[in-house]
A and B are shown apart, each in its own frame.
Chain A
Amino acid sequence: MTGALSHLRVCDLSGQLAGAGATKILAAFGAQVIRVEDPVSRGLWDALRGVGPYVDERRGVDLGAGFNNHNAGKYGVTINLRTDEGKQLLRELVAVSDVVCENFAAGVMENRGFGYEDLQRIKSDIVYVSNCGFGHSGPYRDFKTWGPIVQAVSGLTYTSGLPDTEPAGWGFSYMDHGSAFYMTVAIMAALHHRERTGEGQHVDLATVPAGMAMLPTEILDWTVNRHMTQPSGNRADFDEYAPHGIYPCAGADRWIAIACRDDREVALLAKVLDEPTLTADRFATLPQRLASVTELDAVVGAATASRDAPTLAADLVATGVPASVVKSPAERIDGDADLTRMGLFPSVTHPDIGKVRVEGIPMTFSATPWHLDAGAPKLGQHNDEILGKLLGHDAQSLADWAERGVI
């Protein structure tokens, strides 16, 4: 099938979710994404190759389900860049690629002889996107990060939690996703520029600033009003709404999110909860509700505690009050008709893992739908196809290189 990006080839030295998440989107739309991995460390620079979850008791670098999820639809080759022959192979691959991308620490590519100027000499219009925590410039350029560190130093972690105690933070590497979003945008924008001008370029993406870009209002409230954002549990940012929170429901660890955007919705909430206290004069206006917000939240929480979460959410939404169960993985993945309709979780086939579901792309394209059916590449799975057929090397050379640890 011809995809939106079937005309593109990506030489992908990136990994983990922060890089692989971007090139997965490109692969889903038809780009030929070729992951270049190190045969010496068995590809474990991308730690996800070697960690679970696994589908069964088998373990190994070709069996990590997280790696499979993030790399579905890509090709994989092994090249040992410590060797001159390996470096030459990478040069040949760059020469037939539109994009080179990576998320090593700053300086790694230059030290290997593949900085932007080197890449440009190999292919003059190459689009090179680097992606690391602090970027390739600035005083912290040598610092290393992973998702939770990015979230910490960008301000995101601080905003999630109760006041005056330890931050709860984000319970996953949110900014690995954020990094992948911006990396995808960078690649596509640079490609459009190349399309118009014939010129490639280096885009230096820094993930910590990307985290700050996710907090524009909070930052403007500081630069304009000198107001410092503080964690406030689940209350609305900037006192926009009240009640606004996550309240207990019947059952173990069951919760409902409710947001009343105006006085009318508070009245509707009172009716659905059968809790007339919410319509008392002291809760009549937003300033009044904010002044007594602890009491207000306690009233709402006491009324929701005995309710069935899905039923209450449905009743509230039906009356026009924003509400949702805090959905478990089962509820959000397997219980959403819209996601089933759009095929958000396709099954892919991996040579060793077998048939397994992965995350798809949350967009539906009318003319060029995305498509994922192959699992992630095994380590060096496509050496013959890419290094042999695409780059024109014969079987004897490949065998020789494999024996000598070049690939």
Chain B
Amino acid sequence: MSEHSPIVLVVDDEIQIRRFLRTGFELNGFAVHEAGTGAEAIRSATLRPVDLVIVDLGLPDMDGSEVVEHIRSWSSVPIIVLSVRSTEAQKVHLLELGADDYVVKPFGMAELLARVRVALRRQMRAMSGEPIVKVGPLIIDLAARAVLLNDKRLTLTPKEYRLLQVLAQHAGNVVTHQHLLKEVWGSIHMHDTHYLRIFVRKLRQKIEPRPDSPRILVTELGVGYRLAQTDNEGENGAWDTAAAPAKTDS
């Protein structure tokens, strides 16, 4: 993936979880730091540079969301939250606090790795100022404000483009309904989810090969949308991808 091994800080009070995460990450060419408490996590993140933080929500000394808030106050390092199947409102809250993504426990290693790679790639793109986002057959050129599907230029209305642009800026990560509504329609329409539904429908007609089973602009029920950027192979999500032969791309 890059010259040096990316460093992941794993914050979880369960030693078994930390152990399998460490093994899983190391097998895939990551270096791992561990922390068992929120305080330890914050100290560790300040002392040594890390490329990505994985935080469990139930920590003995503080809530995981506090760790997210704390780290986000001085760092833009990608943060992925591990939660039990919780209410969607809590996920939205975490994303608003600055988490980049969340994975629901129990999860498969492949699912987490996919999210981690997406988050790292986004971080890299943000730092290098790379203006081009590729999602399958779709190419979004943020600098030229151009959208190409199978190398054919698409005509989008200004609001459709704005919607796609916001999603592309966070390509691979979930963007909450509220964030999208605010960015595209302004904060007075923060709760008019139906605007979003109708425009997503229109946008999918234009960018999805099969609009009724979308693969590019995917829905996170009750939370938001995500531009489904996956790590190289064309699959995303469920842990059945874990059944696929291991890909070592380190």
The judgment on whether A and B are partners is no
